[in-house]
Amino acid sequence: MIRDVLFRAADRRAIETTLVANHFIPKPRSPHLRAVQVEAGFDRADDYIAEQVQAGDLVITGDIPLAARVVESGGTALNPRGTLYDSESIREHLGRRDFMEELRSAGVQTGGPSSLSKSDVQTFANALDRFIARAR
């Protein structure tokens, strides 16, 4: 559902959008969409994104360490639930992620995130629209 929101925004607003993964990513035909397939391996896609991101870019990711790398490079990250990671908020999110990782390492069952809901998708779409409006 998140990809559909991205694809529509890219076409509607003529925004160059790049998908990055270590496997084939199907996408609709559009002059505004491109896919980059990196070689397989741990964090290869993240490394590519972090190397390519420029100030002002938006990266969609649920990976908080990648979001921190994006913010460090002058970009902004947005997770699929609509949370915006910027220079003011990323430290808090990293701290919470590291704390949860410590709990899991100690054997505490923390559970995972809930499934993405329609409300989450709407929150994401609204955050994306606000970012685009501010960027223009």
Domain spans, the chain? 2-107
Give dist(CA 86, CA 105) in Å, integer.
28
64 by Cβ neighbours in 10 Å (0-12 / 13-18 / 19+) ranks as buried
Q: Which among 65, 107, 60, 98 has a CA at the least distance from the CA of 79?
A: 60
- Buried/exposed 88-109: b ≥16 CB within 10 Å, e otherwise: eebeebbeeeeeeeeeeeeeee
Give dist(CA 104, CA 90) in Å, integer.
21
pLDDT at 136 over 90: no
pLDDT at 43 over 80: yes
User: DSSP assignment of 1-31, as one string?
Assistant: -HHHHHHHHHHHHT--EEEEESS-------T
pLDDT at 97 over 90: no
Return the percentage of the chain with pLDDT > 70, whole number: 99
pLDDT at 81 over 80: yes
CA distances (Å), origin 101, targets 61, 105, 119 = 18, 6, 27
Mean pLDDT (the chain, rounded):
92
63 by Cβ neighbours in 10 Å (0-12 / 13-18 / 19+) ranks as middle
How confident is the model at residue 107, as a pLDDT?
A: 83
Task: Decide which of 134 and 99 is more confident.
Answer: 134
pLDDT at 111 over 80: no
